[in-house]
């Protein structure tokens, strides 16, 4: 699967539980929408993913990427109820980094 470099970096960071590497895939003013909450800026994004990693040890297996729609479907596995699940990640990019991520 041909993923944009920043998405490949995000998946690698997620799978190695590297919250700093994960946050570095985002712009300084990026926004993440997940489970009804909003996280703004690299600091909040790093804290959010760090907490999620410590609680659930989530890994991502990319299944399908649409460059036109800027969406990634991925199988998410971890120590959470109902694991694994398939989620859709909707991206907006700015200067080759993620400006917005909505997880549904």
pLDDT tens profile 17-55: 999 999 999 999 999 999 899 999 999 999 999 999 999
Residue 10 near residue 22, CB atoms below 8 Å: yes
Q: What is the pTM of this model?
A: 0.94
pLDDT tens column, 54-101: 999 999 999 999 999 999 999 999 999 999 999 999 999 999 999 999
| Of 53, 68, 60, 65, nearest in space to 86 by CA | 60
Alpha-carbon gap, residue 29 to 57, rounded angstroms = 26
1 pLDDT exceeds 90? no
5-103: CATH topology: Nuclear Transport Factor 2; Chain: A, (3.10.450)
Q: For the chain, what are the domain ranges?
A: 5-103
Q: In what order do the strands lie in the sheet with 97-103?
A: 37-40, 26-34, 97-103, 85-94, 71-77, 59-66
Residue 88 near residue 104, CB atoms below 8 Å: yes
Q: What is the CA 67 to chain-centroid distance, rounded?
A: 16
Q: Which two tokens stand for residue 18?
A: 């590297």
Q: Which two tokens stand for residue 5?
A: 């470099």
């Amino acid at each position: 699967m041909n993923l944009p470099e920043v998405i490949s970096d995000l998946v690698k960071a997620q799978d190695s539980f590297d919250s700093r590497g994960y946050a570095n895939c985002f712009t300084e003013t990026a926004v993440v929408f997940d489970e009804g909450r909003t996280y703004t800026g690299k600091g909040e994004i790093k804290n959010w993913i760090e907490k999620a990693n410590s609680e659930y040890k989530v890994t991502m297996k990319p299944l399908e990427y649409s460059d036109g729609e800027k969406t990634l479907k991925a199988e998410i596995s971890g120590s959470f109820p109902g694991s694994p699940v398939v989620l859709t990640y909707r991206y907006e990019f700015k200067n080759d980094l993620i400006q917005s991520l909505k997880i549904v």
